[in-house]
Amino acid sequence: MAELDAELHVQHLSHSFGPHEILRDISFNLKEGHVISVVGPSGGGKTTLLHLCAGFLDVEEGKVTNTFNKHAFAFQETRLLPWQTTLDNIAFGLKAQGMRKQQRYHLATEIALRFGLEKKDLSKFPKDLSGGMRQRVSFARALVIEPQLLFLDEPFSALDIGLKQELQQILIQLISDGRLTVFFITHDLMEAVRLSDQIIVLDVDPGRVAHTFTIEKPQQERDDAYVYAETAKLLANPVIIKTFELSIASSRNKPDKGAAA
Ligand SMILES: Nc1ncnc2c1ncn2[C@@H]1O[C@H](COP(=O)(O)OP(=O)(O)OP(=O)(O)O)[C@@H](O)[C@H]1O
Ligand SMILES: [Mg+2]
């Protein structure tokens, strides 16, 4: 069975916009049921990498092989259709699959309620929803089609802690059930530690893999204390300090030299 597992395989991927080299020689293999996060400073090419993997941008150098049947996306900006109701926005992907109206409304309603929306929200237009509600809609729209692979580009960064944890728990449940593979871009190391099997640290100018950290403990067994402790360890790691230019803060905390060790 293992040999037939789907994967997102990236080999020696490089990318430039005009004369600007953005990504250099990126390789990784995202296996079915796993979560890979990419963290790194702003402008390092994380979104560009996701766009190349998801097929939004043409691959010019290197290779991207995606053998997952169905994938979906959620982004920081929710990209909802302003002229469609909550229900129609969530059901959008099901309509594209040719599902009948009654069935798609049924599934969309079910997932909307599971994601904390209320019945009265379903007929509202995006402009009449709060930012957090729009994020719920965006997540519901991505997951209602039951994707095998989910591309996430900082979907939690504008959310309050409670909602962030709630949506993360939904993801962790799906991952633990073996129903979801995630390619996840984030600025938030703690979020990466909570969700990922591997964390790729992307350095800038050009974007390249500085280091890949592996977390063995299953997501469901990572409690807050574990996540805080592992995040603290990462923040003290020389690769992270160098990539995020944390050296000043780090040396301020330590009276003697050699703080990065
Ligand atoms: N379509 C484009 N044309 C030209 N340059 C682009 C294009 N898209 C992105 N860039 C440039 O590529 C670089 C990487 O951008 P990208 O959005 O991938 O970074 P990022 O790591 O996602 O940053 P952030 O963390 O701020 O979201 C930036 O210098 C950006 O200006
Ligand atoms: Mg980005």
pLDDT, mean of residues 215-241: 94
Say yes or no to pLDDT of 3 above 60: no
Strand arrangement, sheet containing 181-185? 71-75, 149-153, 181-185, 35-39, 198-203, 208-214
Q: Which residues have C-beta within 8 Å of that of residue 29, sequence separation ≥ 6?
A: 7, 8, 9, 10
- For residue 166, the model assigns a pLDDT of 87
- For residue 76, the model assigns a pLDDT of 82
Say yes or no to pLDDT of 258 above 70: no
- For residue 247, the model assigns a pLDDT of 59
Instruction: Work out whether the CA dihedral 122, 123, 125, 129 comes out positive or negative.
Output: negative
User: Ligand 1 pocket check: which of 22, 152, 191, 205 to mutate, most ligand atoms within 8 Å of Cβ?
Assistant: 22
Ligand at shortest distance from the CA of 48:
1
pLDDT digits 0-9 by tens, 7-44: 999 999 999 999 999 999 999 999 999 999 999 999 89
CA 47 / ligand 1 centre spacing (Å): 7
CA 104 / ligand 1 centre spacing (Å): 36
Pairing type for strands 198-203 and 208-214 reads: antiparallel
Ligand at shortest distance from the CA of 38:
1
30 phi and psi angles, rounded to 5 deg: -95, 115
pTM higher than 0.75 for the full model? yes
Instruction: Work out whether the CA dihedral 174, 178, 184, 189 comes out positive or negative.
Output: positive
pLDDT digits 0-9 by tens, 155-209: 887 778 888 888 899 899 999 888 899 999 998 899 999 999 999 999 998 999 9
Say yes or no to pLDDT of 250 above 80: no
Q: Residues lining ligand 2 (ion), CB within 5 A? A: 46-47
User: Ligand 1 pocket check: which of 17, 151, 183, 200 to mutate, most ligand atoms within 8 Å of Cβ?
Assistant: 17
DSSP characters for 31-67? ETT-EEEEE--TTSSHHHHHHHHHTSS---EEEEEE-
pLDDT digits 0-9 by tens, 63-87: 999 999 999 999 888 899 999 999 9
- For residue 163, the model assigns a pLDDT of 84
Furthest C-alpha separation in the chain: 68
Q: How far apart are CA 8 and CA 67, in angstroms?
A: 6
If DSSP codes are grouped into helix, strand and coil, which group holds residue 187? Answer: coil
Tell me which residue has its CA closest to atom 17 in ligand 1: 47
CA 44 / ligand 1 centre spacing (Å): 7
Q: What is the 3-state secondary structure (H, E, C) of 83-127?
A: CCCHHHHHHHHHHHCCCCHHHHHHHHHHHHHHCCCCHHHCCCCHH
User: Ligand 1 pocket check: which of 21, 38, 47 to mutate, most ligand atoms within 8 Å of Cβ?
Assistant: 47
Whether ligand 1 lies within 6 angstroms of the CB of 141 is answered as: no
Range of lowest pLDDT (176-180, 195-199, 213-217, 244-248): 244-248
